[in-house]
Chains A and B, each alone.
Chain A
Amino acid sequence: MRFGGVFEDPKKMKVLTRLVYAAMVVFIAIDFVMPRHHEEFFWDRIPGFSSAFGLASCVVLIVVSKTIGKFLLEKKEDYYDD
């Protein structure tokens, strides 16, 4: 089994990225028209809420984690070795 460097071919990667973008559009579009059966929270009615929440939480997690890590948690590798 060989991949032959798919992930280093800019052309193929571009196609792949476009496909993902297209999928995003399709999913949000469906969200606008699809009927709701379960409405447990108010945001279940907002179309595209999941997209916004996914992006926001990803960004928040990265920023918060890196900040905590930088100022509080990260130490040199030999921290415990003395």
Chain B
Amino acid sequence: MISWIHPGAILILGSILIPVLPGKAKKGYLLLLPALAFLSVLLTHEGTYWTYHFLGQAIVFGRADRLAIVFAYVFSVAAFASMLYGLHVKEDGHHIAAFVYAGSAMGVAFAGDFITLIIFWEFMAFSSVFLILYRKTAKAYAAAYRYILVHIFGGICLMGGAFLQYSQTHSMAFNHVEAGGLAFALILIGFMLNAAVPPLGAWLPDAYPEATVSGVVFMSAFTTKSAVYVLIRGFAGTEILLWLGVIMAVYGIVYAIIENDIRRLLSYHIISQVGYMVAAVGIGTEMAINGATAHAFNNILYKGLLFMGAGSILHVTGKTRLDELGGLYKTMPRTFILYMIAGFSISGVPLFSGFVGKSMILSAAGEEHLSYVWLILTLVSTGTFLSTTLKLPYLAFMAKDRGIKAADPPGNMTAAMGIVAFLCIFIGIYPKYLYDMLPYATHYAPYTLEHVVWSGQILLFTWLGYYIYINKLKGHPGLNLDTDWFYRKGAGVFMAVDREVVAPADSAVGEAYRKVVLRLGSWLSGLSFRFDVGIVDGFLHGLVRFGVWFSSLFSRRSLSFDKGVIDGVVNGVADFTVSLAAVTRRFQTGLVHDYAFGILVGLLVLINVFFLIS
């Protein structure tokens, strides 16, 4: 009797069959897989399953406790709804990538040790990048490349941290991170990068808006929320997270308010919302952890719904910029209503799901008497209402009718939105359904008179503020700088250094020696003397090269000189292949000499290393 089947395994292994199934059957199968995964989560009892031993380490695929189960639960719901939303997508690869991605997120949720965690962590990065690539635009390709590189960096940090922690604690088990120093920092950085904590979070608004219409719905559910999960697991009560979370919440909302692209606006808004959760993890009390979990649960639903709405607009009109949209409520009424349900949920309007989740975090801050945290998070929630529920729908669905030809999207998309919208309202009306799943038992009652009255006031007066400034917040084209500047502009500098300095250094050093040997070799005997001169001359030559390179930064002309002449001489064997003279020259005076010389220098270096260290 099989006691447990990993829901992630159902999705990942099941996805292999997708390409071989014919039309109708394939669609059924695409919905069957996440449904089975959901069933498997429902049937999961607390316990530890699927433990293996590898290289002397316990590999735990199925550490199922309340925290893991609630995340896996909502992941499987999101996988189902997102797949239904993207059911019309033709490419099998897109579906496979989406399932591997969703399955890996569940793998992360059930991972009981760092090895399993790292493997699924990398899986998530490498599968989700395809959801960007399938957009098949030049911008998407470039964004995908940046996305994967950033995530490789994060994965490496996590891996390094895991190794360090192993060296300190002699255990690969993934629990609350007790290790100190660098191990703590590296693991935290790895997690925070996926949670998009600034300044490590610029990949998110860079990549998500370039993803496919249904791909981004998947992405909004899994990467950041699984990061919140691991933060809860490993870093609950870490004070720095409290402040980073607060900063993050504000940071995201500032960008969301000025952003013009609807999907980028929502992306920034993810950062803001995850900031809430990160702050709650930082508070770390039972109430706060419950709040972070509930908020993540709800957020997966309504954020997915928001992206579904924005995606529908893109799918139908091909536009995502607020300055090009307007008046869609008449032609896309269903989308409009469903979007507004998500908007009301995320803003914490009573009777919608956000109200019952987010308020737990605020109450946790209140219990701990963190007045600044409470004030800032409340301020941010007005920003949420302002940007996603007032500004975006006003400019996209109402405002000036630009006469865009549009209609509600295909049935599967609307149905997916309907299911999620239903859940948003259901949880808002019957919060016990959610509360019973939370990691800690709770008797939290969201619907008190004070709570409702205060929330109502805040929402109503936010509307008033927007009403006053309505013309200030119109969309206009442009792009907003973020920390991705450092690798989008900075990477060029690095590559230039690498190409112009590091790579030629290989040949340049040899070249320097060659000149020395040629010029002086006939009358200078004695290896040590030659070495002396070689070092001096090599250094001078290096300085000259650096000068040339440096000046090339300022002048294209000298850059081409550098590339064309110097590099040409140095490693342009290809340019000389025809000339026999060049060949004999290379044979007689060729770099071999200098390579051999390099070996000798290497020997000396080794000797030095040895005597310096020992």
Contact = CB atoms under 8 A, between A and B. Distances in A.
Contact of A23 (B460, B465, B469, B477): B460
B448 A37 contact: yes
Interface residues of A, number: 47
A58 B254 contact: no
B404 to A, nearest CB: 15
A53 B465 contact: no
Interface string A20-47: 1001100110110010111011001000
Contacts of B379: 53, 57, 60-61
B258 interface: yes
A2 B333 contact: yes
Contacts of A80: 479, 488-489
A75 B462 contact: no
Given A37-B450, A62-B473, A72 B481 contact: yes
Contacts of B124: none
B202 to A, nearest CB: 12
B458 A53 contact: yes
Q: Is the interface of A mostly helix, strand, loop or mixed?
A: helix
A31 B478 CA distance: 43
Contacts of B463: 20
B118 interface: no
B330 A75 contact: no
A54 B473 contact: no
Given A40-B367, A41-B366, A58-B465, A31 B473 contact: no
B418 to A, nearest CB: 13
Contact of B382 (A23, A58, A66, A79): A58
B386 A61 contact: yes
Contact of A40 (B369, B455, B489): B369
A77 B457 contact: no
A31 B450 CA distance: 8
A47 to B, nearest CB: 10
A24 B464 contact: yes
Interface string B446-470: 0011100111111111111110110
Interface string B164-196: 000000000000000000000000000000000
B437 to A, nearest CB: 25
Nearest to A62: B469
A14 interface: no
Nearest to B398: A7
A42 to B, nearest CB: 9
B585 interface: no
Contacts of B462: 54-55, 57-58
Given A31-B453, A73-B481, A50 B254 contact: no
B559 to A, nearest CB: 15
Given A31-B454, A48-B457, A58-B462, 10 more contacts: A2-B330, A27-B457, A40-B366, A58-B461, A59-B468, A61-B253, A61-B383, A62-B472, A65-B254, A75-B480
Closest 6 CB pairs of A and B: A58-B465, A54-B461, A54-B458, A40-B366, A50-B457, A69-B258
